[in-house]
Amino acid sequence: MQSAPGPETVIDGVRYLYFAGTSYLGLAAHPDVIEAGCEAMRHYGVHSATSRARFGTNPPVLAVEQEAAKYFGTDDAFYFSTGYVANHILVSALSVGVDAVLVDEAAHYCVIEAARLAGPAVTTFHHLDPEDLARKARGHRSLLVLADAIGPSTGVLAPVEDYLKVLKETHDARLLLDDAHGFGVLGPDGRGLFDELGLWSRVNHPVAGAGTSLYVGGTLAKALGGFGGIIPGTRGWVNQTRRASHYFDGASAPASSAAGATARALALVGQQPELRASLRRNALRLRAGLTSLGLTVPAGASAHIGVVAGDAGNMRRVHERLKERGIMVPYVDTYSGLPAEGVLRFAVFANHSSAQIDHLLSELRTIL
Ligand SMILES: Cc1ncc(COP(=O)(O)O)c(C=O)c1O
């Protein structure tokens, strides 16, 4: 890539109409975000060159935690360098005292790896399958269950309500979702899948004896236009996550430029609800268009849509034909959570115009 990601993006020297990646709210190239990142680096250097537990909590890092708490409507938030480790950190806090850990067999790499950090043996359950979860959960008094909130390549939402029905049988169940692709996209307040389901007030807010407890971690590097991982929650819970793993005292604090840009991006998303409204409109327009072409799209309003269009050879052909016409839609055949034949992965941004989406659909109509 030789430009910032956006509706038009340069790849291998060619400018494409771009429906790929994860810059869903279209902020990666926003001038205010870039300027805030530059300003933070000028002022505080590349990074603080020490861990958060020493002197690493510089003003831009602190600003991300404050802006994230405001955005997520929580007391506090823990900010770290990459969303990939969000689950690693959360599992360190959540696996204490559980007698089994269950993970969706096709969850993102970082979810599976994090599950393996937990003490007890890890068992997989069939992808998105509450009945298999019920079978594997039977007989356990305390459980930690991990899954993606949204399939990163498919856009399929986890059947959370069905999981919760199953987990009612367990004395102490903890459900942890990775919502890397839902933060900034789903829910009336843009807080992700739990927000979409009206469950946000219970999330990262452990209350003893209140039924299945809900946890989430994610990234600010996708829709929310910044960079780094985030765990929002009550002050007590967030502090527990800071202490539970050694990330807070054993890793360099996030880079100043990343933190400065991220704090500004979060503030913009809060101040400009029209960004999320536009993303949702575009996600629904693309879904409706793909459906009208006879393709099956996942339910919901995720900003990325994995579509199976014939076999792998056909999807490679569709990808190549679109590319020849200046449109980039990747064919993804290697990633976690894919069907055997792979998918054409469409991503839409808040700053795609309706005309750009319609152009994609009309080209696709002639190629399929
Ligand atoms: C589901 C999921 N979780 C976590 C990550 C990692 O987040 P980050 O890019 O912030 O490390 C990704 C992809 O990048 C992802 O798709």
What residue numbers bound the domain in which 72 lies? 38-271
Alpha-helical runs (H) found in 232-353: 235-244, 247-250, 256-271, 273-292, 312-324
Q: Kindly state the DSSP code that residue 118 receives in the 8-state scheme.
A: S
Residues of the chain predicted below pLDDT 50: none
DSSP 131-160: HHHHHHHTT-SEEEEEEESB-TTT-PBP-H
| Residues 291, 193 share a domain | no
Predicted pLDDT of residue 238? 97
CA gap 191, 197 in Å, rounded: 10
Task: Please indicate whether residue 179, judged by its CB atom, sits closer than 6 Å to ligand 1.
Answer: no
Q: What is the CATH number of the domain that holds 346?
A: 3.90.1150.10
Do the domain assignments include residue 2? no
218 CB neighbour count, 10 Å cutoff = 27
- Sign of torsion over alpha carbons 12, 18, 21, 24: positive
Place of tokens 């506090």: 76
Do the domain assignments include residue 206? yes
Predicted pLDDT of residue 295? 97
Which of 22, 81, 108 is the best mutation target for the ligand 1 pocket, counting ligand atoms within 8 Å of the beta carbon and taking the most? 108
Task: Please indicate whether residue 289, judged by its CB atom, sits closer than 6 Å to ligand 1.
Answer: no
| Residues 126, 212 share a domain | yes
Which of 157, 222, 334, 343 is the best mutation target for the ligand 1 pocket, counting ligand atoms within 8 Å of the beta carbon and taking the most? 222
Predicted pLDDT of residue 101? 96
Query: At which of 217, 246, 271 does a domain end?
Result: 271
CA of 106 to the centre of ligand 1 (A): 14
| Residues 199, 181 share a domain | yes
Do the domain assignments include residue 151? yes
Q: Which atom of ligand 1 is nearest to the CA of 228?
A: 10
Do the domain assignments include residue 103? yes
Do the domain assignments include residue 142? yes
Task: Please indicate whether residue 27, judged by its CB atom, sits closer than 6 Å to ligand 1.
Answer: no
- What does DSSP say about strands 343-347 and 331-332: parallel, antiparallel, or unpaired? antiparallel
Q: What is the CATH number of the domain that holds 212?
A: 3.40.640.10
| Residues 267, 281 share a domain | no
Query: At which of 208, 243, 271 does a domain end?
Result: 271
Which amino acid makes up residue 263? A
Q: What is the pLDDT of residues 261-294, one digit of tens each?
A: 999 999 999 999 999 999 999 999 999 999 999 9
Task: Please indicate whether residue 90, judged by its CB atom, sits closer than 6 Å to ligand 1.
Answer: no
| Residues 193, 64 share a domain | yes
| Residues 294, 262 share a domain | no
| Residues 199, 83 share a domain | yes
Q: Which atom of ligand 1 is nearest to the CA of 148?
A: 1
The helix (H) or strand (E) run that includes residue 86 is helix 86-94
Q: Which atom of ligand 1 is nearest to the CA of 107?
A: 1
Q: What is the pLDDT of residues 331-356, one digit of tens each?
A: 999 998 899 999 999 999 999 999 99
Task: Please indicate whether residue 219, judged by its CB atom, sits closer than 6 Å to ligand 1.
Answer: yes
Task: Please indicate whether residue 152, judged by its CB atom, sits closer than 6 Å to ligand 1.
Answer: yes
| Residues 49, 136 share a domain | yes
| Cα of 105 vs its chain's centroid, Å | 18
Q: Backbone phi, then psi, for 249, in 5-degree steps?
A: -110, -5
Predicted pLDDT of residue 208? 75
Predicted pLDDT of residue 118? 87
**Residue 147 neighbours by CB under 8 Å, 6+ apart:** 103, 104, 107, 111, 158, 163, 175, 176, 177, 178
Total number of domains in the chain: 2
Comparing C-alpha atoms, which of 329, 315, 316, 317 is closest to residue 360? 329
Task: Please indicate whether residue 195, judged by its CB atom, sits closer than 6 Å to ligand 1.
Answer: no
Task: Please indicate whether residue 112, judged by its CB atom, sits closer than 6 Å to ligand 1.
Answer: no
Do the domain assignments include residue 111? yes
Atom 7 (ligand 1): residue with closest C-alpha? 83
| Residues 146, 284 share a domain | no
| Residues 259, 185 share a domain | yes
| Residues 294, 219 share a domain | no
The helix (H) or strand (E) run that includes residue 161 is helix 160-167
Comparing C-alpha atoms, which of 3, 27, 7 is closest to residue 221? 27
| Residues 151, 51 share a domain | yes
Do the domain assignments include residue 31? no
